[in-house]
A and B are shown apart, each in its own frame.
Chain A
Amino acid sequence: MFEYRVNSNPLIATWRRVAAIVVKEIRQLARDRMTFGMIVMIPLVQLLLFGYAINTDVRHIPAGLVDLSQSSYSRELIAMTEASQTVDFVRVYASAQEAEQAIIRGDVKAVLYLPADLGQRLSVHPAFNRDSGHSNSQTLQPVGQWLVDGGDTVIAASIRSLRQLPLDTLAGRALKDNVPTFEVVQFFNPEQRSVVNIVPGLLAIILTMTMIMFTSAAIVREREQGNMEFLIATPVKPMELMIGKIVPYVLVGLIQVGIILGIGHLLFSVPVRGGLLTLLVAALLFIFASLTLGLVISTIAKTQLQAMQMTVFILMPSILLSGFMFPYEAMPQLAQVISEALPATHFMRMVRGIVLRDALLWDLQRDALWLAAFTLGGLAFAALRFKKRLD
């Protein structure tokens, strides 16, 4: 009788079993056209959707105008404001009260109010006046006022950006100081170039979605399709199975990172300021953490449907609480605690730091270590939970 079992040492046997599972997974993945297509389509479509549709740089907001000054200054100020393309003045009102009513009715989103003493205000305005040193706090008044429908925070934020409208043209010379031209009654968010912030954030969201989804089905699928009973009757060890299930998808994750950053750079001119190597390390850490999270789900779920539900359960807070949609700093404490428990939050910080601020891995070591620890802990947990038993 032949004897194969005596001639190989345990490490070689482990290596062969992991390799066997990796090869098997890749073969199965390659035969699954739909899944293979989704690997490319998910990042591509999501990126185009988020990049084009979700645009917080608002232009041409319909606005009203109350011009009590009726001077050459006011006409020039109005022209300058319109030239910024942020607002189009579509209505003219006689008084502030009338303008307020118009906002309440929803006729316009914002109204520019220019008082009768516009010329007077301009002459004492520190930025406009040559003798800016002479002005004191009592005379320091904005030249006009914006009334804004604060209900739409994005619009409010855009109007707020008009606050610092430069008066250079009006004065006919270069002005140095930057004292507000307008006072804004409502404000929400400071203006931001949204795409630049969104694309790196999307990296975290798309990887969370696809990586967790792939591995959350990995173990439970074998169970559902009846392969598990054979597999657990073989000498394969739980940790070998876990590692073999993760490795093929690391490659998939890297392909997606390439797609997102490549398209982000080509279509939306999102710069990658930090080192590509730093980015690669951060992405790998996050990919491993997400795949591990999926594996943990897979050892808990009884069916693929349950695994999918748990994936969505993780995905929603990852989108809402990771800092992708709302800044982490602005969240209530409880939300911050939940946020800290999500791998996506840590990667979001890292990737924005690297892509936008040229941060080094050293600067991001806390998040990097957290992701590494999460991966190791998750792998150990999944391997312990996975029993080579049916009972």
Chain B
Amino acid sequence: MSDLAINVLQMTRCFGKNIAVDHLDLQIPRGTIYGFLGPNGCGKSTSIRMLTGLLTPTSGEVEVLGQRLPQYAEALRLRIGYMTQKFSLYDNLSIRENLSFVAQIYGLNSRQSRERVNELLALYALDKRQTQLAGSLSGGQKQRLALAAATLHHPDLLFLDEPTSAVDPENRREFWERLFDLCNAGTTILVSTHYMDEAERCHALAILENGIKRADGSPAELMATLGAHVLEVEGDDLRTLKSQLTQCPQVLSTAQLGTRLRVLVRDQTEQPQQWLQAQVNGRRIEAVRPSLEDVFVACTGQHSVSSATARAAAGSDSEQGERHV
């Protein structure tokens, strides 16, 4: 048995002339949490749908848990769990009814079903609300219910498509605690996100843009191999400075953080700190540790910085240009 949960070579998917996923290679070891980081429409959902067997790749080889897709999609259903981007349980069923339904669909008998549902209700702090209709739950509660449903049958591999997009930070922390519990119990998890702080929690991640993998590795590796120096400038009139610096070929990107301007100076630049000092009219400069966002900006930096920067606050609802069910 291979120790890769997912092994993908040159996976491609086109919708008409539009290439949603472009020759993607992925090797995800068992028992890890792997992240897909990218803006909306970068091919995260399409990739996950191909890996769950819901979409057929236009070309490429896909092997999940040692089984070829799409041929063995049906056999894999019992071994994978899938939490969709949009809440996909029944709004007019209660929490318990939803989970019992899923339990029966996975073939549990009524005793097993009752035990497992009780266990999940307790684990995800839903037991006090078990008779409440799913449609009336808050974002965080819905998300916990969806995770409970996706993990009800103890899948070996769990797919989570932007699981925390409608959830507050407190609930997100809780949610990630549960993910690490699952991972600790041996589950491999693939999670897509556009939040940097979430991506940073993954064992490894791939940065996707326009269906192409721009970089992959552990967050530490990615930060270490960043092709730029990260410097922060402190002072007045940062808006003018920002527009000046953006013109320079040496500057990869700039982003303002309150009273500071974060500047990514290309590695090719000799003595970057001195170079920048000459540009900033005596404002104070400090070299700082690169963040995952810097990595993201550096490898997707072809287009304007402001639009590529997916700051944690910039949540968004749906991936445009991709298919929805």
Contacts and interface: CB of A to CB of B under 8 A. Distances in A.
Interface of A: 1-5, 8, 12-13, 16-17, 19-20, 23-24, 27-28, 31-32, 223, 225-236, 388-391
Contact of B154 (A4, A20, A229, A232): A4
Given A2-B154, A229-B88, A389-B54, A17 B104 contact: yes
Interface string B96-111: 0100111011111100
Contact of B105 (A5, A8, A12, A20): A20
* A-side interface mostly: loop
B114 interface: no
The 3 A-B residue pairs with the shortest CB-CB distance, nearest first, are A20-B104, A230-B88, A13-B107
Contacts of B173: none
A77 B202 CA distance: 103
B171 interface: no
A390 B325 contact: yes
B319 to A, nearest CB: 13
B91 A225 contact: yes
Contacts of B133: 31
A4 B56 contact: no
A43 B78 CA distance: 44
A4 B92 contact: no
Given A229-B84, A229-B325, A1 B185 contact: yes
Contact of B104 (A16, A32, A228, A233): A16
B284 interface: no
B92 A32 contact: yes
A236 B105 contact: yes
A373 B93 CA distance: 35
Nearest to A14: B107
Contacts of A236: 105
Nearest to A233: B82
Contacts of B53: 233
Instruction: Identify which of A23, A223, A230 gathers the most chain B CB atoms within 10 Å of its CB.
Output: A230
A24 B96 CA distance: 12
Interface of B: 49, 52-56, 73-74, 77-78, 80, 82, 84, 86-93, 97, 100-102, 104-109, 112, 133, 149, 153-154, 185-186, 323, 325
Contacts of A20: 100-101, 104-105
B325 A235 contact: no
Contacts of A388: 54, 73-74
Contacts of A390: 49, 54-55, 323, 325
A220 B91 CA distance: 16
17 contacts: A4-B108, A4-B112, A5-B78, A16-B104, A16-B105, A16-B109, A24-B93, A27-B92, A27-B97, A28-B92, A28-B93, A226-B86, A226-B325, A227-B89, A230-B82, A232-B54, A233-B54
A330 to B, nearest CB: 48
A8 B107 contact: yes
A226 B90 CA distance: 9
Contacts of B104: 16-17, 19-20, 23
Contacts of A235: 74, 77-78, 105-107
Contact of A234 (B56, B77, B108, B323): B77
Nearest to A32: B92
Contacts of A230: 82, 84, 88-89, 149
Given A5-B78, A389-B56, A390-B54, A227 B105 contact: no
